[in-house]
Amino acid sequence: MSKSSNTVVGLLAGTVIGATLGILFAPDKGVKTRQKISDEALSVKDKLVETATDLKEKVSSTVSDKKETLDDQLEEVVSNVSHKAEDVISTLEKKLKELKEKNKKLQKS
């Protein structure tokens, strides 16, 4: 998990704990206290959903960027290997031609 994600989770946890303790120790009637806890829980739920959505978007974006980078690198590697293969084939063809010429000379002697 990234530092910003850890910070957000810590911030949300602190908010929930602080709000819950504040509500529980407030001098209100039970009905009001339960309503405040319910309202705070809904607020925290909304924040968690928003944070999860943001995190999902960041992960998706990062994965997409890494995929593009990997695709580019793979294309470059394939191109380099292709050029190297062509060089090897060209060298082998030259050597084969030289060997055929030497063979002809040896057969004439």
Locate the domains of the chain by residue range: 3-108
- Whole-angstrom Cα distance, residue 59 to residue 81? 32
Reported as a single tens digit per residue, the pLDDT across 16-66 is 788 777 777 777 677 787 787 788 888 888 988 998 899 899 999 999 999
Query: Would you say the C-alpha torsion 2, 3, 8, 13 has a positive or negative sign?
Result: positive
**Distance (Å, rounded) from C-alpha 98 to C-alpha 3?**
64
- How long, in residues, is the chain? 109
Is the model's pTM score more than 0.85? no
